[in-house]
Amino acid sequence: MHLLKGAVRTYAWGSRTAIAEFTGAPSPTPHPEAELWFGAHPGDPAHLLTEDGERSLLDALRADPEGELGQVVRGRFGDSLPFLVKLLAADEPLSLQAHPSTEQAIDGFAREERAGLAVNAPTRNYRDRSHKPEIIIALSPFEALAGFAPAVRSVALMRALDVAALAPFINLLSGQSDADGLRALFTTWITFPQPDLDVLVPAVLDGAINYLRGGEQEFAREARTVLELGERYPGDAGVLASLLLNRLTLAPGEAIYLPAGNLHAYLQGVGFEVMANSDNVLRGGLTPKHVDVPELLRVLDFTPAVDIIVRPEPVRDGAELVYPTPAPEFAVSILTVDGEQLGHEIDAPTRHEGPQILLCTEGEVTVHAKASTVTLRRGMAAWVAADDGPIRLMSAESTRLFRVTVGL
């Protein structure tokens, strides 16, 4: 077991304060810090803090895959860590995007390989052969667009905006089944010629302004989001697409699980994100990055997403709260030490013999493994190799740890 130093990723939509303050670093930072990666992704691996200095987690896995990953995990996923852990801090909206299924990723990767596109080319969609299921858990109030809303909800929203130019699109959506109507309308908007977008988007923005001036509340969040996106990305089809998606506000501890084909855009907030160790993203707008509309349409699932907020469930004696997901690559839980447990060694529930990544979000805790001990405070992380588990916790104050393991 070693302390784990995350790799900072700087993107324009990041925060100059959130990650720095969470980890105890100087704030504000010179550049926006968007993500802190704790994993072994070749693009930016985290580093183990050892007695001999820093060592890449990726190098450690390559040197001793059996000891670091364990026999069971190697048998299922080979010699690579199957998950990637991130701390995400968004001060501005991220791109409108979705991720492929495994079959789509394998096919897309092969096509782009045959086309001779370099894996790091900016126009590349598929950088590996893996799907990318992910979960985002709010550490602060977290704003997001995620999954298509039921058609009746989007129809009601568009009618509330009272924009004459939306009338034919309301008819298109309401005249078909949910999935067919959403597919038809989204495809129409995302492929609209720019001159048409330059007329329709401002009309929708005017409708949102008038709606908010009228003091109505039912669709106030949606209307404000339309205005915010329209200001940042004028004439972008993604502004219209936001009318078709669930507009969510997560309280701290609540989560969204995003399977393949789920269209989404994170808007603002700090979250703990876990995903399969993949970098496959299909973008449809709200970004200066590469947008591939035909490929996005190939992977999207237009089935309305309902009840998509995930809340942790207690297991065993309640010391561990687990976020239920079907992803085989990862499992996410919260370990807490409080009340009568304070001052005593507590055995963390043993899920299996694979590796673990721990991130402390509250308090201070000493973590004991078979051969080593580390102390974690808020913002600190640790890597627990497979051959060093299970772990025990001891704390004198209320403590919360996020734990990521391989899925069962």
pLDDT for position 251: 96
Report the catalytic residues: 283
Q: Tell me, what's the pLDDT at 230?
A: 97
Distance, in Å, from the CA atom of 266 to the CA atom of 58, rounded to the nearest integer, reads: 28
Tell me, what's the pLDDT at 157?
98
pLDDT at residue 274 in the model: 97
SS3 226: helix
Q: Cα–Cα distance between 35 and 56 in angstroms, integer?
A: 18
Q: In this structure, what DSSP letter does residue 141 have?
A: -
Task: Return the pLDDT at 316.
Answer: 61
* Residues of the chain falling short of pLDDT 50: none
Asked if domains 2-145+250-291 and 313-405 share a fold, the reply is yes
Query: Are 381 and 4 a contacting pair, CB within 8 Å?
Result: yes
pTM of the model: 0.94
At residue 317, the pLDDT reads 57
Q: Minimal CA–CA distance to 102: which of 126, 120, 80?
A: 126
All structural domains of the chain with their residue ranges: 2-145+250-291, 148-245, 313-405
User: Residue 42: its pLDDT value, please?
Assistant: 87
Residue 318: per-residue pLDDT = 61
Q: What is the pLDDT of residue 279?
A: 87
Q: Of 6, 82, 146, whose CA–CA distance to 274 is shortest? A: 82
Q: Which CATH architecture has domain 2-145+250-291?
A: Sandwich (2.60)
Fold assignment, 313-405: Jelly Rolls (2.60.120)
